[in-house]
Amino acid sequence: MSSPARRGIWVLASRDHFSDNSGGLAASASVLFPASDNAHTQTVPSVPNFQVLSSFLDYLKIEKGLASLTISAYRSDILQFADFLTRRKRALTAARRDDVREFIRQLFANSVDGRSVGRKLSALRHLYKYLLLDKVVEHDPTLNIDSPKQWKVLPKSLARDEMESVLRGPHTATTGKEAASIAARDRAMLEMFYAGALRVSEIVGVKLEDLKFDLGCVLVRGKGDKERIVPLGRSAQDALSEYMKNARSQLAAGKSSPLLFLGRGARKLSRQRVWQMVGAASSGAGRHASPHMLRHSCATHMVENGADLRTVQTILGHSDISTTQVYTHVALDRLKSVYQKHHPRAKAR
């Protein structure tokens, strides 16, 4: 008798199966497809789907050079669509446009927000573009399917006074050299977040050699290992100098590391630790902030002060200007404000 996988039925496997070293596979189940009662198990694709997905993920990793977290997001989204297709007794390579439309319809019916739906549709577009080029399929089922209008939402950012409160750093009652070193490190990281609009993965990966004090900038490695030069303002440089002079060696505790920002014993900081730090620092502002909010705040405040979108695009590391154009609402608001203030006939007589 053939195995469940050979019959095209999804089977359950341990969490270690079909995962990588970046933290494992994100669960494919969502509000559309409720998770199993067995918390230690998750769905694994049938053999045809597995081969297609495995090949595509290798392409993303090896040829496109995408980060592990990005690849995990692709994997999760495509697995969810594959699970949907399995319920319709269809493989990924046999998907039709109606399947994609119904998949999107069900996502919206289950209150999945437009941004998430847009991300899933984008993952499918990339998958079928790859399969077309590889001549695995003859038609792209995502063709002529509009992206959700809700996809491009305005990014959340902090007001300037809120940002100033965050930059003062998290308040701690702990005293001692180690606590002071951690506080200095956190202040330097917060200043770099805001000065250079860095992502979490970028800031924890910055190396000592990337910091160019003489030029007042830092080399940042972004998505797909793309490099960009980001300028650092005087406040960020001062905070980094303080950290380098009085705190980094204390945290290294005699051990060596190529990384700029260190945890205790020269360990690499985790993304979770950075999120916790930013959350603690924002508590005094009366509004919980995330690292990505600091990135958006940098871009928003630059546009408010008259920066052009091409400059902001370069600092953010966006490969396409259309991604940066979400900040145009800020430029328009500023334009209206300046017009109202300076045009002689802007105000009613």
Active-site entry in 97, 271, 292, 334: 292
Is 59 in the active site?
no
Max Cα-Cα span within the chain: 87
Is 329 in the active site?
no
161 Cβ neighbours under 8 A, 6+ residues apart: none
Residue 6: phi, psi to the nearest 5?
A: -65, -30
Q: Give the rounded distance of the alpha carbon of 292 from its chain centre.
A: 8
Contact (CB, 8 A) for 53 and 79: yes
**CA-CA distance, 310 to 295, in Å (whole number)?**
16
- Classify 218 as helix, strand or coil: strand
**CA-CA distance, 121 to 146, in Å (whole number)?**
9
Active-site entry in 97, 207, 223, 271: 223
Active-site entry in 199, 243, 248, 296: 199
| E-strand stretches of 73-195 | none
Provide the token pair at 47.
Answer: 């053999």
Is 234 in the active site?
no
Is 318 in the active site?
yes
Is 343 in the active site?
no
Active-site entry in 120, 187, 248, 295: 295
Is 301 in the active site?
no
Active-site entry in 128, 130, 243, 327: 327
CA distances 213 to 184, 222, 314, Å, are: 18, 20, 20
The catalytic residue positions are 199, 223, 292, 295, 318, 327
